[in-house]
């Protein structure tokens, strides 16, 4: 709990530091906002929102789904990014991000083993979990994006991928 609050505070402080060192006065035209949806390899569907000032942007993505015991997933991820080639239809965002993703899925084979042994020998579900700080690269082409996150530090890991990715559509205004 402390770590998640610490990293959220760190992202906010870094974002505000970028804003405070701007060369000109804050103008509404210098702000940009994102909204979108996508998929990720650990979390099936995510909603995305972002707020940026000039080339710096803070994005948050996440969602969850619950369909009964041992059948759910959830994930949340935040990214602090710097945009390159901002006025071009193809641009890059690079920076750091952090997140937590968790999923459980029923496993009928494990349930059958437990039933045959008349005791809980194995967990009746499969699960994946990762909590990490990552180096991120986003590539945008006319609103479509791909995201690659390379975990630099993993805090929790169980059956997680070494490379995290995402894809989807972001509308910027």
- pLDDT (tens digit per residue) in 141-173: 999 999 999 999 988 888 777 888 999 999 998
pTM: 0.73
Size of the chain, expressed as the number of residues it contains: 173
Contacts for 149 with CB less than 8 Å, ≥ 6 apart: 77, 97, 99, 132, 134, 135, 136, 163, 164, 165, 166
The pLDDT of residue 17: 61
Element containing residue 129 per DSSP (H, E): strand 125-141
């Amino acid at each position: 709990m402390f770590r998640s609050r610490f990293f959220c505070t760190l992202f906010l402080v870094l974002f505000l530091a970028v804003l405070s060192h701007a060369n000109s006065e804050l103008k509404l035209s210098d702000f940009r906002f994102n909204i979108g949806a996508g998929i990720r390899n650990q979390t099936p569907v995510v909603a995305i929102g972002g707020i940026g000032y000039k080339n710096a942007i803070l994005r948050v993505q996440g969602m969850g789904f619950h369909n009964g015991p041992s059948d759910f997933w959830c994930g949340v991820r935040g990214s602090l990014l710097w945009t390159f080639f901002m006025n071009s239809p193809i641009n890059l965002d690079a920076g750091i991000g952090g997140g937590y993703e968790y999923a459980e899925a029923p496993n009928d084979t494990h349930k059958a083993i437990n039933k045959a042994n008349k005791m809980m020998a194995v967990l009746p579900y499969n699960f994946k979990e990762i909590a990490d700080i990552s180096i991120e690269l986003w590539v945008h082409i006319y609103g479509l994006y791909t995201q690659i996150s390379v975990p630099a530090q993993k805090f929790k890991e169980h059956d997680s991928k070494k490379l995290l990715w995402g894809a989807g559509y972001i509308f910027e205004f």
